[in-house]
């Protein structure tokens, strides 16, 4: 499934979205915000949020839902 097809999907809850991505071969992990917050630097914006999520996801002891 191409990324353009994902953009055309109806918005859903995170767990339903996780199941959808899993069905097409991805291994999605839901990271609770409590584990991402310490890595957030500066103002809250998409770029800083993405950087904090990536930094948290690289940790080997990260607990996911």
Number of folded domains that form the chain = 1
Domain containing residue 42: 30-65
Average model confidence (pLDDT) across the chain: 84
For residues 48 and 40, is the Cβ–Cβ distance under 8 A?
Answer: yes
> pTM (2 decimals)?
0.64
Is residue 3 included in any domain, yes or no? Answer: no
pLDDT of residue 56: 92
Is residue 52 included in any domain, yes or no? Answer: yes
Is residue 5 included in any domain, yes or no? Answer: no
Of 21, 32, 20, 23, the residue nearest 59 (C-alpha): 32
Is residue 48 included in any domain, yes or no? Answer: yes
Reading the block at residue 4, the tokens are 């353009």
Is residue 22 included in any domain, yes or no? Answer: no
Is residue 23 included in any domain, yes or no? Answer: no
Alpha-carbon distances, residue 4 vs 8, 20, 56 (angstroms): 7, 15, 27
> If you average pLDDT over residues 25-50, what whole number do you get?
90
Which one has a higher pLDDT value, 7 or 46? Answer: 46
Reading the block at residue 46, the tokens are 């998409």
Is residue 4 included in any domain, yes or no? Answer: no
Which one has a higher pLDDT value, 63 or 9? Answer: 63
pLDDT of residue 2: 63
Is residue 9 included in any domain, yes or no? Answer: no
């Amino acid at each position: 499934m191409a990324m353009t097809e994902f953009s055309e999907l109806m918005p859903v809850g995170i767990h339903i979205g996780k199941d959808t991505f899993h069905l097409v071969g991805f291994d999605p992990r839901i990271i609770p915000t409590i584990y991402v917050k310490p890595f957030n630097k500066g103002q809250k914006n998409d770029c800083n949020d993405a950087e904090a999520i990536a930094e948290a996801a690289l940790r080997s002891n990260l607990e996911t839902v």
